[in-house]
Every structure is written in structure tokens, then in C-alpha cells.
Amino acid sequence: MNNTPRPGRDDARRPRRLRADGVRSLVSETGLSASDLIAPVFVDATTDERVPIDSMPGHERVPVDDAVARVEEVLATGVEAVMVFGIPEFKDDRGTRAYAETGVVQRAVRQITAETDAYVITDVCLCEYTEHGHCGIVEPGAEEDPHLTVENDESVDLLAATAVSHAEAGADMVAPSASLDGMVGAIRDGLDEGGFRNLPIMSYAAKYESAFYGPFRDAADGAPAFGDRRHYQMDPANAREARREVELDVGEGADVLMVKPALPYLDVVADVRREHDHPVAAYNVSGEYAMLHAAAEKGWLDLDAVAHESLLSIKRAGADLILTYFAEDVAESL
């Protein structure tokens, strides 16, 4: 028997030895569990029945009185945390229903925390609550002048009021998503002054002006009525800017750092993980969800397989937590 290695072959380096059944799982570097996942829940104050979201198959807007039942469905899959988004009874130019004691999120959170063991996170933004669909109060003349945008500092004060109202309703964590300068610090100050020093903030620290948000805007009825959000959300071309944005939020008191979207920005997720010891979250957004569903409906992809692989890749890049519309389906398969 000739034991002489073939030219170019190195018997000391055979990675396939560790890919056999049995050992493959032992050397797997990344795991995914239901406790890594956060499920979005859309609560709609304008309806008394569940309304399917056409662009996000399998998801619905639920009435306030059905919020507990919806969260119980999530918990039954093993997912322990939910993110609550609200669609208000009416909208105005200042988003007043975002911080009203009787607002849709406030009412839903009171019921959910009273009747379930879910960990409840709330989205803190004004886009679902303003009649113009922007994430804060807009500057005078913004509808006609594309150079004008959201008035930053006054809007930040309203975000802080919104966060405090969510805390008073029983939220376990607040998640500001408006991409406004100084919002984390203002919210931290508001929570501390309101007696909620131990309530954590998950900041959308690196949030890009992405084309992947389309289906969410259908779900939350939050598309801008004019213009876009390029003046306050980040340029998709920029990675170094993300480092600066995240560092600012860390300095202002963010407890968890989120990157949004996830799959097109895995390099940013990896950067945040490498540079900071905070927990890192990533938002596997509606467009990422919808495009896999669309391909699966064509028979081009195995939906369960690509959903699991997508979330695994986000975890591998460095995310500790993943906000995803696949949460329930993937959790049940684990």
C-alpha cells in the first residue's frame, strides 16, 4: 500500500473529518435558541378584529382586546419576548397618541403585563402617530421644501415622554427607533426622573435609511406622507458613521445596541460586537422576511431552511438578540 501523499495534499489538514454526523454538531460554533428571539406584535386601536398584513404573510394587526391572546400565541412557541407596535385611533401633527396615558401601546402593555409572563419591549417613535408619517415634529414648510426635515430637539422631548408613558404602563424595556440626535440621553433622563432607573433602553443605534422597510410601513401605517427619512436615518453606504452613532448612544446610556436592518448590514453587526461589550441586537426587518416568503411561494427556496439560516447568520455575525417576524416559526422548529 502506497502511503505517500499525493502531490499538493496535506493529510494533517482535512477539515472534512469534523463534518461527519455525530461530531458535526459537537463542533458547531453558533447556536440559535428561542430565547434569542423577539417577536413583533402589532396592536391596532382602529379595529375590533384581526386584520391580515398582506405584505407580511402570517402576520396580523390585532385589536387591543386581543393583544393578550396574540402574545400568548407567541409564548406558546417558546419565544419569551415581544416588541409592541401601535396603530392609534387618530393621528395629528405632534403624534399625541404616542404619549397619551390611554394610547394604544399603553393600553395593550397594561393588559399584556397583567395577564402574561412575556418580557415586553415597546417601540418608541412617532411615525405611526403623526399624520405626516415622520418620526417627529416636522420643521415649518417641510412638505414643500425637500431640504427641511424633522425638528430634532423638540421631537426628542416627545420621545422621552413616550418612553416614560410606556414605563408607567408596565413595559420592561423601551426601544427608541426615531434616529434623532440625543434621543437616548433624553429618554434616560426622563426614565430616571420618573422613577424608572432600572428600566433598560434598547437603542436602534445604527439604523439605516433602507429600502427593506416597505412591508413594515404597511403593517404599522407609518409611511411618510411626503419626502423621506434620509436626513435622520443613516446612509447605507456608511460603516464608519455607524461606529460614531453607536458610540454616542453608549455614552448616553443605551443598554442594548441594535442594528437595523440585519442581513444587508452583517458587517455593521460584527463591528458593533467587536467594539462594544453591550448586548447587540439586530432587526431582521419586514423586507428580509417578505422576500424569502415571495421566493418560497415561487418554489425557489425552502422557507423553513432559509429562515433558520438567515437568523443563524445574524447570530454568527455577533447579535445576541434578534427581532424577527420569523420568531415563532423558527422557535417551533428548534
DSSP H or E stretch at residue 280: strand 280-284
Binding residues for Mg(2+): 245
DSSP 8-class letter at 212: G
For residue 282, the cross-strand partners are 259, 322
Catalytic residue, chosen from 91, 207, 298, 315, is 207
Beta carbons within 10 angstroms of residue 279's beta carbon: 15
Among residues 91, 260, 298, 315, which one is catalytic? Answer: 260
Q: Which residues are known binding-site members for Zn(2+)?
A: 125, 127, 135
Residues that constitute the known binding site for 5-aminolevulinate = 217, 229, 286, 325
Read off the DSSP letter of residue 139. P
Whole-number Cα distances in Å, 201 to 9, 44, 103: 53, 24, 20
Residue 91 a catalytic site member: no
- Our answer to whether residue 260 is catalytic in this structure is yes
- Asked whether the beta carbons of 180 and 136 are under 8 A apart, the reply is yes
Question: What is d(CA 236, CA 13) in angstroms, rounded to the nearest whole number?
Answer: 40
Q: Please state the residue numbers annotated as binding site.
A: 125, 127, 135, 217, 229, 245, 286, 325
Let me know: does 329 contact 40? Beta carbons within 8 Å.
Answer: no
| Catalytic machinery residues | 207, 260
